[in-house]
């Protein structure tokens, strides 16, 4: 059995174990190498359901399909009651649950839930700044004019809604937000700000900053990874060449600054000591971004070998040194992810999005199965 296949088999087993052990529940940010199981009220619940869809597509075992489908009513109810949706991560939540279900099964119900989610995300559009507001209400004094780089992975839900309905409003918002993100979050050397502030009164750009990174001018590794994958996806949908260039620019920076073992620390600018936390989830997201880029760039692109080499080194390191293949009872797939090191929240633990992107990369490497960010 090759390395990817062995890792996938192990992941399938763990996903099944979790489904059986925690029926109807969803994993939350964890501490102590044990997921906390709860309700659908954070930004991360879609990843768990997305893993079930990947597992189903990989092995065609109906167990995973039935488990994934059983969550749709819950995701619909969350939208209807607007539970903890005062943020932009509606794309993360619904691309991997409702869009995924529609894509795999053709369910009209799932399609309708996904379109309802796209409308909910659209309500966060702030036209005078040409941004989708990341967090809080429009009149929030701290966050009213704030974007974060993570939002690039929320845009596929809007691009998808445009394809489905033909309504240009979804495309225009996603395109304009991507352009603002490119202009203000990406720096000249290919590094990135985690967040950027605009003036809610006159729409003027104010400054870059961070929320989960080491300090305002530093490069939070997960943010950089969201940027690689997010701009590649924006290019896939729009064919706007500059998005592809930006994704490549971010990828080269990421690769140049990877640690010697090809897995990143939590921030590229943090002083590294023995106890400095890693973020395996950032490396898993970047691997998915590189897989996407490798499909989008020309065969003779000068970056092809660099990207291929980095992808394989990172994935090999994740499987061999960060996976829980040596821990059959573990709930997570990847050790040493970090959520919010500076805020002292889960600095070294399982991250459900790390698990999702690790599995997405593995099944793409092994069987060409893609995630649920666009129609294939
Ligand atoms: N999107 C939030 C995070 O990456 O932690």
Nearest CA to ligand 1 atom 2: 150
- The string of DSSP letters for 177-209 reads HHHHHHHHHB-TTS-B-SEEEE-TTT--EEEEE
Give the distance (Å) from ligand 1 centre to CA of residue 163: 27
Of 194, 195, 226, 279, the one to substitute when testing ligand 1's pocket (max ligand atoms within 8 A of C-beta) is 226
Low-confidence stretches of the chain (pLDDT < 50) are none
State if residue 124 touches ligand 1 by the CB under 6 angstroms criterion. no
| 89 annotated as a binding-site residue | yes
Q: Which of 151, 153, 155, 212 to mutate to test the pocket of ligand 1 (most atoms within 8 A of CB)?
A: 212
pLDDT in tens, 317-327: 999 999 999 99
Cα–Cα nearest to 51, from 376, 366, 323, 372: 372
| Predicted local distance difference test score (pLDDT) of residue 209 | 98
C-alpha to C-alpha distance for 75 and 55, rounded to whole angstroms: 20
CB 30 within 8 A of CB 42: no
**Cα dihedral 330, 335, 337, 343 in deg (nearest 10):** 70
Kindly report the pTM of this predicted structure. 0.98
Please report the atom of ligand 1 found closest to the CA of residue 150. 1
Q: Looking at the annotation, which residues are catalytic?
A: 89, 150
pLDDT of residue 75: 98
For residue 367, the CA-to-ligand 1 centroid distance in Å is 28
C-beta of residue 81 within 8 angstroms of C-beta of residue 118:
no
Residue 172 marked as a ligand binder? no
Q: Is 150 in the pocket of ligand 1 (CB under 6 A)?
A: yes
Q: Would you list the domain boundaries of the chain?
A: 3-367
Per-residue model confidence as pLDDT tens digits over 118-176: 999 999 999 999 999 999 999 999 999 999 999 999 999 999 999 999 999 999 999 99
- Alpha carbon of 62 to ligand 1 centroid (Å): 31
So what's the pLDDT on residue 265?
A: 98
Instruction: Give pLDDT, residue 196.
Output: 98
User: DSSP readout, 90-120?
Assistant: HHHHHIIIIIHHHHHH--HHHHHHHHHHHHH
Provide the pLDDT for residue 1: 74
Q: What tokens appear for 58 in the block? A: 């990989």
Structural domain 3-367, CATH architecture? Alpha/alpha barrel (1.50)
């Amino acid at each position: 059995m090759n390395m990817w296949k062995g890792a996938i088999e192990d992941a399938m087993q763990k996903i099944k174990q979790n489904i059986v052990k925690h029926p109807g529940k969803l994993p939350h940010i964890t501490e102590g190498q044990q997921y906390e199981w709860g309700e659908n009220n954070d930004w991360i619940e879609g990843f768990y359901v997305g893993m079930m869809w990947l597992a189903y597509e990989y092995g065609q075992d109906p167990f995973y399909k039935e488990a994934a489908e059983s969550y749709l009513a819950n995701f619909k109810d969350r939208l209807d009651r607007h539970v903890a949706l005062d943020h932009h991560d509606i794309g993360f939540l619904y691309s991997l649950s409702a869009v995924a279900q529609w894509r795999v099964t053709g369910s009209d119900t799932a399609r309708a839930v996904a379109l309802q989610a796209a409308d909910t995300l659209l309500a966060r559009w702030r036209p005078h700044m040409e941004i989708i507001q990341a967090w809080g209400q429009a009149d929030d004094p701290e966050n009213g004019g704030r974007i974060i780089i993570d939002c690039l992975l929320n845009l596929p839900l809007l691009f998808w809604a445009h394809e489905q309905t033909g309504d240009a409003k979804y495309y225009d918002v996603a395109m304009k937000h991507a352009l603002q993100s490119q202009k203000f979050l990406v720096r000249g050397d290919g590094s990135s700000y985690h967040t950027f502030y605009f003036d809610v009164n006159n729409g003027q750009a104010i400054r870059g900053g961070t929320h989960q990174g080491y300090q305002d001018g530093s490069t939070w590794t997960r943010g950089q990874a969201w940027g690689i994958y997010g701009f590649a996806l924006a290019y896939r949908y729009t064919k706007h060449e500059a998005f592809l260039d930006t994704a490549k620019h971010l990828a080269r920076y990421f690769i140049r600054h990877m640690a010697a073992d090809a897995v990143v620390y939590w921030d590229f600018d943090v002083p590294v000591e023995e106890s400095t936390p890693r973020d395996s989830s950032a490396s898993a997201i970047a691997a998915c971004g590189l897989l996407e880029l490798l499909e989008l760039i020309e065969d003779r692109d000068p970056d092809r070998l660099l990207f291929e080499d980095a992808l394989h080194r990172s994935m090999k390191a994740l499987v061999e040194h960060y996976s829980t293949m040596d821990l059959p009872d573990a709930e997570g797939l990847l050790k040493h992810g970090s959520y919010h090191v500076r805020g002292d929240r889960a600095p070294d633990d399982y991250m459900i999005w790390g698990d999702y992107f690790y599995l997405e990369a593995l099944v793409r490497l092994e069987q060409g199965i893609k995630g649920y960010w666009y129609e294939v």
